[in-house]
Structure 1
């Protein structure tokens, strides 16, 4: 076997064994490149392409979990089409609709990964990647929910900078990450009752995720390494 063939085989094995790692990497990569394209006219196209990649990876990890993949496809296909249409047509209505579907897909994918991690008493490397990917899926899901809430209930969020304008996507994602991780940085604040309910639900989800899923993985890992 040639060296190139061996590398290709190793790559294929890694892809099959650690699908959650690729989803986590795509989410982190999108965070890194967002500031680079935020002010560019082509930025929305780039973000749309990254979003499509994340959607495909989310469906992929659902396929590897105990969850039903047809539900993921039912959410992903129209979300994919509407997301592309919103970029091409520069339509806020299509963007909000696709955001609602993406939020549902990310929540479903996060739930499927949690079921995958809780399905046995053995902690694998992919389950550790899944723990990180699940956190990013929840953060993205709530950020899209915040975006939909802001469109349906104008004035739902305010901020330290230009408090009267609607919050940008990165601001809502920042709020989601700080809220889910219980950091509590308060430069973006929910004002309307629906927005505050969403924020409280995310706080509950963040605490529950750490208390149940992450602590379980840590405990099982310590037990495994503590055995003689």
Structure 2
């Protein structure tokens, strides 16, 4: 009986990889506030990032865009991230974040293509709507982190120093992408403001094109 149940859950997991990707990213959002302040916590956050990268690769395999570019981005990202921690080299960590940002953008594009490849709306595609949104939020948060490393003082916030924490940047990213705009982090540098405008545009276009299309197809199927 346990073997049968395990097989069943594995089959469900294979059918809905987007749900696992969405779930682990939402779990990471809940855990980040407690983990971002200590060295051990930051290491665990890094482990979450690695898990998300693996899930992202799994989802890309189901998309029409393939996996080769994702692997070219993911493997160096993992190497630079670990090297940055072991060697205490911020430049290596910044390089890893740049690669991770590109990987998240690529995976978000792959999931979008997956959702738009036909005129049927599956349950996994509905999970992919949320997963793509979180992927875009992570991608821009990594881009913001790279920006403030290259241009110190790019963002102003309630905390001291020129660098904002990862949680602050992720909060800003979700605020911009959702169109809410409620954040205590403000872009000051021109490059930072350019990234913010790109994310605002991406959030509006995502809702207007992808979400509205899937909702329309779902309603059409029901009628």
Please, which runs of 5 or more residues in structure 2 have no aligned partner? none
Residue in 2 aligned with 1:171? 168
Please tell me whether the aligned partners of residues 48 and 87 of structure 1 are also in contact (alpha carbons under 8 angstroms): no
Please tell me whether the aligned partners of residues 157 and 191 of structure 1 are also in contact (alpha carbons under 8 angstroms): yes
TM-superposed CA distance for 1:135, in Å, is 0.2
Residue in 2 aligned with 1:184? 181
TM-superposed CA distance for 1:43, in Å, is 1.2
Please tell me whether the aligned partners of residues 44 and 87 of structure 1 are also in contact (alpha carbons under 8 angstroms): no
Please tell me whether the aligned partners of residues 139 and 173 of structure 1 are also in contact (alpha carbons under 8 angstroms): yes
Larger deviation: 31-40 or 191-200?
31-40
Matched, 1:206 2:209: no
Q: Summarize the alignment of residues 68-217 of structure 1 with structure 2, pairs less than 5 Å apart.
A: 68-162=66-160, 164-217=161-214
Please tell me whether the aligned partners of residues 37 and 43 of structure 1 are also in contact (alpha carbons under 8 angstroms): yes
Please tell me whether the aligned partners of residues 149 and 195 of structure 1 are also in contact (alpha carbons under 8 angstroms): yes
Q: Which runs of structure 1 show a deviation greater than 3 angstroms over 4 or more consecutive aligned residues?
A: none
Matched, 1:224 2:212: no
User: How many residues get paired?
Assistant: 223
Larger deviation: 84-93 or 191-200?
84-93
TM-superposed CA distance for 1:33, in Å, is 1.1
SS at match of 1:101: helix
Larger deviation: 78-87 or 209-218?
78-87
Alpha-carbon distance in structure 2 between the residues aligned to 1:222 and 1:87: 49
